[in-house]
A and B are shown apart, each in its own frame.
Chain A
Amino acid sequence: MERIFMRTWVYVGHDSEIAQTGDYKMTSIGKEPVLLTRGEDGEPHVVINRCSHRGAAVCLLPKGNVSGFRCQFHGWTFGLDGELAAIPFGEEGYDRDALSLTAAPRVESYRGFIFASFNPEVVALTDHLRDVLPYIDSFVDWAGGYALQVAPDANEVVYDANWKMQLENNVDGYHLSFTHQSLFSVLQRRTGNQSRYLSKTSDESMGVATVEAFSNGHAVMDMRSLGNEELRRAMKRDRLDILPGAPAPDADLDDYFGIENAEDLYLASLGPTMNVSIFPNLNLGSINICEVYPLAVNRTRVVLRPLLLPDAPDDINRIRLRYHEIGSGAAGFVQPDDIEMFNRVNQGLTSEEVEWIEMTRGKDREEVISDTHQVSQISDETPQRGQYRWWRELMSAAA
């Protein structure tokens, strides 16, 4: 946690989670408990949730709106940027300047995604994200230019395995047909079409899906060109039309949603069918922001928050919530099967007799564009190799 989470940029929140001055979100960077706040200056701040006096947490609720933070132990108060406001019963003898809440020296954001770092020397955020900036743009712009807002609730799970399992998994095209077979069975059962799609999407004369590894451990699984336009629309319709409260398959969608070209926005409820993993703790996929929190070497907390469109019709946002629920969370049809596999890997890795795992799939056929950029077929382990190359670099860098 020191060598990675204290050295690089770590995702801490989305602009819409701290929209107003005084809004805050409780989160963490590695082992550091932090508060992401919107300061009086309108800027995001990240401060450690630890009173500079005797160390008590100054904030207990996961989110809210406050004018500042007051430690309830001895009444010390701090501003939204962590600056010491007042010490009760006199301030003589204290070095006031040294008694603010400790702030992360670097806080920067890109397209609403706020990152922080405790490493003052870390490169600029846009340099760190350089190769995946176009994918972040695509994720943000996918819903027809509507502004994005993180839903006020989140689906959270814990699993008994390493945090990297969740990061790898987001760009693992190989596991989909196996780990998530039961989801495809449900789709087949409801629509009768899933098997038909599987045969068509494996026809390489149509578009194919790819995976890519980029610099700094970032990676992408891109299914936007899979099949052809007609097939993609049909697959998306099938996935949405089975949701509780969805429009009937033959409904006039413009009438139903009360907007023009409603089908485009309706289909955008699945997101761009492209997953982006931003090392070390942010997965974008579907319409979700997925935050990965290492708790211990073999314990991880995962928080999934769907993105809503506050300026779109309520019915669109209702569909987006229902789509998120079908896969995500402890009782979803997708996420539990993933975390079960993470737990099983953790069980298997207790073996000390067998030291290595196999992660070479596609090594001979991937297109090597540079040392830090490789592209390959969707079922190849190109992204995972990229993630672990960067992991090794951070872990072996001098302190």
Chain B
Amino acid sequence: MTEVSLAEAYELLAREAHLLDDRDYEGWLRLFTDDCLYWMPVDPLSEDGTMRLNVIYDDRAKMEDRIARLTSGNAYTEEPISLTARTFSALQLEPATEGDGACLRSNFQMVAYRSGEQSVFGGWYRHRLVRQDGSLLIAEKRVTLLGSDAPQPAMTFLF
């Protein structure tokens, strides 16, 4: 298994949070492996999104599509843009149950602000981390959003 220290995992998550809040999407993509998965299930208890419906289910190519759309000027829910600030806590590392690497579980809270309105999103992340050529990368990021199976407003920004 990939040896990862909690300090190293914390550093990666903090970097990811700042890249997303700074809307540095290219930088964010560089944190992921080529065969990565970024997903948010509809059912918070879903263990495998393959044969279930998801809110987000992106391979790397679709993550690039998502970013291209988001930065095109024609993704109108982000015109004007949302400002986001996210925090995370309760980090716990364990060996990945499926696939290589280490699993990092954390809780998150994100405040999004757009056009005078503030929204709060919360839930937990699960990152599967692998080491490639010495760099620690994200092979899978699962976002479990509280209320993902309930009606949500448009969420074009990234989690």
A-side residues, CB < 8 A to B, are: 151-159, 179, 181-183, 185-186, 189-190, 242-245, 301-303, 306, 314, 317-318, 321-322, 324-326, 329-331, 333, 335-337, 339-341
Contacts and interface: CB of A to CB of B under 8 A. Distances in A.
Interface in B108-141: none
B97 to A, nearest CB: 21
A185 B69 contact: yes
B149 A156 contact: yes
Interface stretch (B7-15, B22-30, B45-53, B88-96): B45-53
Given A301-B151, A336-B75, A190 B65 contact: yes
B69 A333 contact: yes
14 contacts: A155-B55, A156-B149, A157-B154, A244-B61, A303-B151, A318-B50, A318-B51, A325-B53, A325-B54, A329-B55, A331-B155, A339-B153, A340-B154, A341-B76
Nearest to A335: B154
Contacts of B66: 333
Contacts of A159: 153-154
Given A157-B152, A182-B69, A340 B77 contact: yes
Contacts of B152: 156-158, 329-330
Contacts of B6: none
Given A182-B72, A245-B59, A153 B77 contact: no
A245 B61 CA distance: 11
A274 B65 CA distance: 26
B40 interface: yes
B150 interface: yes
A314 B51 CA distance: 8
A188 B123 CA distance: 35
A157 B153 contact: yes
B5 interface: no
Contacts of A317: 51
B146 interface: no
B154 A339 contact: yes
B53 A306 contact: yes
Contacts of B52: 152-153, 321
Contacts of A183: 69
Contacts of B42: 153-155, 329
Contacts of B57: 244, 321-322, 325
Interface string B31-46: 0000001001111001
Contacts of B85: none
A331 B76 contact: no
Contact of B154 (A151, A324, A330): A330
A185 B72 contact: yes
A344 B41 CA distance: 29
A154 B69 CA distance: 24
Contacts of B72: 181-182, 185
Given A185-B74, A340-B77, A153 B43 contact: yes
B153 A155 contact: no
B56 interface: yes
B133 to A, nearest CB: 25
A36 to B, nearest CB: 18
Nearest to B59: A244
Contact of A154 (B53, B77, B154): B53
Nearest to B53: A153
Contact of B53 (A244, A321, A336): A321
Given A153-B42, A156-B149, A156-B150, A331 B69 contact: no
Nearest to B65: A186
Nearest to B79: A340
A321 B153 contact: no
Given A189-B65, A245-B59, A330-B154, 18 more contacts: A153-B42, A153-B149, A154-B149, A157-B154, A158-B152, A159-B154, A182-B69, A185-B68, A242-B61, A242-B65, A317-B51, A321-B54, A322-B57, A325-B55, A330-B153, A331-B55, A339-B77, A340-B77
A280 B86 CA distance: 40
A36 B87 CA distance: 42
Given A155-B55, A325-B56, A333-B65, A182 B74 contact: yes
The 4 closest A-B pairs by CB, nearest first: A336-B154, A153-B53, A182-B74, A330-B152
A155 B148 CA distance: 8
Contacts of B59: 244-245
A190 B61 contact: yes
B5 to A, nearest CB: 32
